[in-house]
Structure 1
Amino acid sequence: MSEADPKGGLAPRSTRVSNLAHFLTRNARRLPEQPGILWGEQSWSWAALDARVSAFATALRARYGVTKGDRVLVQSQNCNQMFESMLACFRLGAVWVPTNFRQSPDEVAWLAQSSGAQVMICGAEFPDHAAACDGIAHHISIGGGAGAHDFETLVAAHSGAHVANVGVDRDDPCWFFFTSGTTGRPKAAVLTHGQMAFVITNHLNDLMPGTGPSDASLVVAPLSHGAGIHQLVQLAAGATTVLMPKGKFEVDTAWSLVARHKITNMFTVPTIVKMLTEDPSVDRHDRTSLKHVIYAGAPMYRADQKVALAKLGPVLVQYFGLGEVTGNITVLPPSEHSPDDAVMRLGSCGFERTGMEISIQSEDGRELAPFETGEICVCGPAVFAGYYNNPEANAKSFRNGWFRTGDLGHLDEAGYLYITGRSSDMYISGGSNVYPREIEEKILAHPALSEAAVLGIPDPKWGEIGVAVCVLKPGMQASAEEISSYLKGKLSSYKLPRQIFFFDEMPKSSYGKITKKLIRETLLERGLIEITEPA
């Protein structure tokens, strides 16, 4: 091999990868009669799903001109058609653009415009959202009756059609994964076929090893985000997906489905795990089939961890990962969850996922030593391709090949990650950095409290001060003075919240996450604090 030929004469390699819809093709061949999706009393085998996806893909292409690279917006609650629309888009090489179905019509209209979608698939229960997106050329309804542009009408009209999976390259986009938009408008993270193939393989390896056709997964979160990724993993494994009924999440219903379908895994967020394990119905249903209860989106408070471990046994799996790295940064497996504080690495979200690397960096990009707090940066095949049509955000989010998560934390000497919080959550009081998560853990050790959140607000003397919002356990009582006295001696004085408020219910996002943005807005609306929201 000469210096002029660093590749040693190797021919350039194609970046062709398998289309993600091939997972469905493979299941239809290998497991044709096994159930792919169960919803209520309805069941669709892998062969039936494959046929429905081909029929709908034919309709998208023949009637609406959808081809490779085109974007298809989806406004829908969880249903079989939502998952089928994803696979039909993938099969055509088009881009699936799901919304958070709880967003307002104006917010969805902005997503439609910013993504450049030419087709909108919309649940019939969202007429205002459809009307707000009248700039989209073509509209398809889910559950809209027998109209020509109804999803089921289109599938029936093209029944028997076969569509081959379009050839795709590693970096061809397949999904616009919208961020939660905690600061400004949501951004479309571009997920690609090659990147997602790695993510799916990694999930099977690191989160739920051994998952296969004999397994079943319960969907308890919107398919538009993390749950959609999780169900793609089930698709790849040939495992059955079970959908919850539409409407408000009911804990008793969830546990009844676990028992009925012998559910082996589910993906959710810590607040939902808390609901599942604290509700009396957890003891009324057989849950011995569970192998993996995967939680992400935020660290779980230690008190809630202990309750979940006591109820469910060694099935908890934690991971840390953003949409931009598609749930693929760290893992803390069941073997490293323990009710014993002396055994468990308290506060850690685990170690690096297979094929991924973490670097804790200072603001100027210098890598920090173990136990030094800085920004969590990551590299590896799970990192997304970038934000769609947003060069400014891309420039801010990448540095020297590292993706900057915006989260703060540190690594210990063994490479376990501890998240301090979002960089936007940290506040500076009297010149000292304050990380709300540390304070929240201390507050939640109080026996009367169920939930707590701490955030910083401007103060003329100290720059910023902390305020705490607490939710009491049913039947319990506590005062702000009592909580303040309880915290003294447990925290440095500058970390002590200067004001403590009690809410009947903590404001949460549509995914069940406690977000500081919503809490701040609620405090302002109730006149409990007086600050100007940042632009």
Structure 2
Amino acid sequence: MSAISNLGELLQRGAAAAPALRAPGRPALTHEGLRALAAGTVAALNAKGIGRGDRVAIVLPNGPEMAAAFLCVAAGASTAPLNPSYKGDEFTFYLDDLKPKAIIVQQADATPARASAEALGIPVLELIPGEAAGSFTLQGGTPGTASKPGMAEADDEALVLHTSGTTARPKIVPLSQRNITASARHIGTALELSESDCCLNIMPLFHIHGLIAAVLSSVAAGGAVCCTGGFDALKFFRLLDEERPTWYTAVPTMHQTILSRADRNAEIIQRAKLRLIRSSSASLPGPVMEAMEATFGCPLVESYGMTEAAHQMASNPLRGKRKPGAVGLPAGPEVRIMSDEGEFLPQGEVGEVVIRGPNVTAGYEANPEANAKAFTNGWFRTGDQGMLDADGYLQLTGRLKELINRGGEKVSPLEVDGVLSAHSAVAQALTFAIPHSKLGEEVGAAVVLREGAELTERELRDFAAKYLADFKVPRKVVFLPEIPKGATGKLMRIGLAEKLGISL
């Protein structure tokens, strides 16, 4: 598989009659059917003047058509998936920034993206679902001639996403065919994926995690992905029972919600017999990893990913030692630790995680200032702080921009999260900075308790004080029924104090 560097080649891997895309209550789309759909889609886009390197925005609900549109459009053009829950102003911003040649929306979907596209003069293509899961036809647009027709090549742009933009204007991250196929290969190797595997996708498909880890890695291995409407805690176990996937991938908040409902679904878990569970996109507390493995009776593989690396950078091994609280061994690109001055640091020393490899973006679009900061001697600076331990496992200590600066003392929110999560009454914990007039920042924590558990702020602070230096113990703990999350299910540290109205 090492020679595969574009979607056209990758789609050839699956056995013709084997299922590629599945969905509850729908006939499966086979690998042969997916190949034919991709060829037909590329030809249809070419006839509308859209070819290699041209961008097509996609605004579709989670499901098999979104997965298929990503795979088939990316086979001959560049995909720009957008969150379907955006408001009109947000669509206008992103479409104006991306300047796509067309936008795909589902027929009869009254999304505000239509008005934004029309105001910007962007043709709207209507996606009409077929009978098999993911099958579709496109209507609309105007006839034209593509300047670069045919299937995409290795260095053509395949996928373009924005960074989350929590502290600044979102940056455009272009990913090439080579980038995304390399990442799919890395994930398949780490998880030992094969044609007998089926991933239950509960991740949003406008996000790198769902697109690459769930969809592309499954198809690349000749296996299948069962596409759901997204994560629904009330439906998850029924889908697990009915669809019988061999694995699923999710963010920690989803795993924690699943774990909280596991006891009442013990019979389904026993029948399901998952081969593995994968976690990525945020740090998974060690106690949650251990509880998930004990509950499901299979390995939970924590991986480390980000958009600029077409998702995966490191992964705990499927076989061998999985370290709770570590994101594993390099699993695709090279991974090193660098000082502020650009020097590599030895094992055991803390610095910035840097990467380079075939899955890493060549740089942000039209942003020389950001690229100058992001790259040092060909290495991409991730913005994450961490160290490589004696065994070569990567331990993250936090996002550099999320570190809490308490009067000159640096506090890693991840370290405090881990301690708070170890309390038997705590289901979820998120440590964040609270602005402070004298110290600059103080340590705060938002906590969700396990069902039926009782715990006071003083009791939790006393527990934390057994394991943390005094300056790291949260000065303020708020108990919430749910911690605020972003669109992809990530917990949001930055600005949380303001969001919750907390001050000291």
Do these two structures clear the TM 0.5 threshold for a shared fold by scoring above it? yes
Q: Does 1:113 align with 2:59?
A: no
- Deviation (angstroms), 1:369: 2.6
Decide which of 481, 489, 496 is 1:512's aligned counterpart: 489
Q: Does 1:137 align with 2:137?
A: no
Which residue of 2 is the match for residue 21 of structure 1? Answer: 8
Which residue of 2 is the match for residue 274 of structure 1? Answer: 256
Other structure's SS at 1:349 match: coil
Other structure's SS at 2:7 match: coil
Q: Are the equivalent residues in 1 in contact too, given 2:386–2:397 (CA < 8 A)?
A: yes
Q: Does 1:154 align with 2:132?
A: no
Q: Does 1:216 align with 2:198?
A: yes
Compare 51-60 and 431-440 and name the one that shifted more. Answer: 51-60
**Is there any run of 5+ residues in structure 2 with no aligned partner, and where?**
none
Structure 1 residues 54 and 445, CA gap change in structure 2 (3 angstroms): same
Whole-Å separation in 1 of the counterparts to 2:139 and 2:11: 20
Compare 476-485 and 493-502 and name the one that shifted more. Answer: 476-485
Structure 1 residues 237 and 17, CA gap change in structure 2 (3 angstroms): closer
Deviations 1:68-87 (A, max 9, x none): 21100011222222222223
Compare 401-410 and 482-491 and name the one that shifted more. Answer: 482-491
**Is there any run of 5+ residues in structure 1 with no aligned partner, and where?**
1-15, 159-163, 338-343, 531-535
Which residue of 2 is the match for residue 458 of structure 1? Answer: 435
Whole-Å separation in 2 of the counterparts to 1:113 and 1:385: 22
- Deviation (angstroms), 1:267: 1.5
Other structure's SS at 1:509 match: coil
Decide which of 346, 349, 360 is 1:372's aligned counterpart: 349
Deviations 1:209-268 (A, max 9, x none): 1x2222211111012221110211111122121111x36x33353333333333112211
Whole-Å separation in 2 of the counterparts to 1:490 and 1:205: 37
Other structure's SS at 1:420 match: strand
Q: Does 1:179 align with 2:163?
A: yes
Whole-Å separation in 2 of the counterparts to 1:168 and 1:37: 22
State the one-letter code of the partner of 2:22.
L
Other structure's SS at 1:335 match: coil
Structure 1 residues 345 and 60, CA gap change in structure 2 (3 angstroms): closer
Deviations 1:7-40 (A, max 9, x none): xxxxxxxxx975312332443xxx3322221212
Compare 233-242 and 133-142 and name the one that shifted more. Answer: 133-142
Deviations 1:333-363 (A, max 9, x none): 23346xxxxxx64421111124x22221121
Which residue of 2 is the match for residue 301 of structure 1? Answer: 285
Whole-Å separation in 2 of the counterparts to 1:212 and 1:113: 40
Other structure's SS at 2:402 match: coil
- Deviation (angstroms), 1:197: 2.5
State the one-letter code of the partner of 1:364.
E
Decide which of 187, 192, 197 is 2:176's aligned counterpart: 192
TM-score, normalising length: structure 2: 0.89
State the one-letter code of the partner of 1:118.
K
Whole-Å separation in 2 of the counterparts to 1:345 and 1:53: 40
- Deviation (angstroms), 1:296: 0.5
Larger radius of gyration: 1
- Deviation (angstroms), 1:119: 0.5
Whole-Å separation in 1 of the counterparts to 2:97 and 2:89: 12
Decide which of 202, 205, 210 is 2:186's aligned counterpart: 202
Structure 1 residues 114 and 281, CA gap change in structure 2 (3 angstroms): farther
Whole-Å separation in 1 of the counterparts to 2:439 and 2:356: 38
Q: Does 1:259 align with 2:259?
A: no
Q: Does 1:58 align with 2:32?
A: no
Other structure's SS at 1:497 match: coil
- Deviation (angstroms), 1:510: 2.1
Structure 1 residues 263 and 413, CA gap change in structure 2 (3 angstroms): same
State the one-letter code of the partner of 1:45.
T
Deviations 1:73-105 (A, max 9, x none): 01122222222222332332x110011333333
Identity %: 29
- Deviation (angstroms), 1:384: 1.2
- Deviation (angstroms), 1:168: 4.3
Structure 1 residues 224 and 105, CA gap change in structure 2 (3 angstroms): same
How many equivalent residue pairs? 485
State the one-letter code of the partner of 1:311.
T
Deviations 1:304-347 (A, max 9, x none): 1121011112321111121111223211023346xxxxxx6442
Deviations 1:277-306 (A, max 9, x none): 321454131454421211101121122112
Asked which structure has the greater RCO (Cα within 8 Å, sep 6+), the reply is: 2
Whole-Å separation in 1 of the counterparts to 2:7 and 2:319: 31
Which aligned pairs between 1:83-482 and structure 2 lie closer than 5 A? 83-92=67-76, 94-123=77-106, 124-134=108-118, 135-142=120-127, 152=137, 154=139, 166=150, 168-206=152-190, 208-209=191-192, 211-225=193-207, 226-230=209-213, 231-244=215-228, 246=229, 249-279=231-261, 280-285=263-268, 286-336=270-320, 345-354=323-332, 356-482=333-459
State the one-letter code of the partner of 1:119.
A
Whole-Å separation in 2 of the counterparts to 1:126 and 1:418: 45
State the one-letter code of the partner of 1:325.
A
- Deviation (angstroms), 1:151: 6.0
Which residue of 2 is the match for residue 10 of structure 1? Answer: none
Whole-Å separation in 1 of the counterparts to 2:431 and 2:155: 40
Whole-Å separation in 2 of the counterparts to 1:485 and 1:464: 21
Q: Are the equivalent residues in 2 in contact too, given 1:56–1:154 (CA < 8 A)?
A: no
Which residue of 2 is the match for residue 7 of structure 1? Answer: none
- Deviation (angstroms), 1:440: 1.6
User: Hey, which bits of structure 1, 4+ residues long, moved more than 6 A?
Assistant: none
Which residue of 2 is the match for residue 161 of structure 1? Answer: none
Whole-Å separation in 2 of the counterparts to 1:112 and 1:151: 23
Whole-Å separation in 2 of the counterparts to 1:190 and 1:412: 32
Whole-Å separation in 2 of the counterparts to 1:312 and 1:106: 43
Compare 387-396 and 407-416 and name the one that shifted more. Answer: 387-396
Structure 1 residues 413 and 80, CA gap change in structure 2 (3 angstroms): same
Q: Are the equivalent residues in 2 in contact too, given 1:213–1:238 (CA < 8 A)?
A: yes
Whole-Å separation in 2 of the counterparts to 1:197 and 1:445: 38
- Deviation (angstroms), 1:192: 0.8
RMSD: 2.6
- Deviation (angstroms), 1:422: 0.4
- Deviation (angstroms), 1:177: 2.6
